[in-house]
């Protein structure tokens, strides 16, 4: 009788271990799928990103904030445009705000 009980508990342990392994691999697969999905979301943001540019003659960059040090030297106007527009007119990201 004792031996039979021990056998049963051993079997139960074996089952637990094997089921644990399966669940771990399942979790891993799910997490990789999730990270892939979030990367795709980052590539195509629905929300428009606004940046700030100086309309001055020597301005070549766009800024993340309108209180950037780079904009304090601006001789023209500070305009708020979308990131897409800024790229379209050939602006680069400011080294001060996009560090
Ligand atoms: Zn800046």
Tokens 């979308």, located at residue: 82
Burial 63-76 (b: 16+ CB within 10 A, else e): bbebebebbeebee
What's the CA-to-centroid distance between 68 and ligand 1, angstroms? 5
pLDDT tops 60 at residue 6 = yes
- Quote the pLDDT of residue 37: 57
pLDDT tops 60 at residue 20 = no
Q: Are residues 88 and 55 in the same domain?
A: yes
Token pair of 42, please? 């980052």
What's the CA-to-centroid distance between 86 and ligand 1, angstroms? 13
What's the CA-to-centroid distance between 45 and ligand 1, angstroms? 22
Would residue 48 be called left, alpha or beta, if left means φ above 0 and alpha means ψ between -120 and 50 degrees?
beta
Domains contained in the chain, number = 2
Q: Are residues 35 and 55 in the same domain?
A: no
Residue ranges making up the domain that contains 19: 2-42
Read off the pLDDT of residues 28-87 as tens digits, 9 standing for 90 and up. Answer: 655 555 555 556 556 665 789 999 999 998 899 999 999 999 999 898 999 999 999 999
> Which residues, other chains included, contact 65 with Cβ-Cβ below 8 Å and sequence gap of 6+?
52, 97
- Quote the pLDDT of residue 24: 57
What's the CA-to-centroid distance between 14 and ligand 1, angstroms? 61
């Amino acid at each position: 009788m004792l031996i039979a009980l021990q056998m049963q508990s051993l079997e139960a342990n074996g089952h637990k271990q094997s089921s644990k392994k399966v669940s771990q691999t399942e979790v891993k697969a799910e997490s990789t799928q999730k990270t892939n999905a979030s990367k795709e979301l980052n590539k195509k943001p629905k929300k428009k990103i606004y940046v700030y540019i100086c309309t001055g003659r020597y301005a070549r960059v766009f800024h993340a904030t309108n209180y950037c040090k780079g904009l304090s030297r601006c001789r023209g106007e500070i305009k708020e445009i979308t990131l897409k527009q800024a790229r379209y007119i050939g602006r680069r990201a400011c080294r001060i705000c996009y560090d």
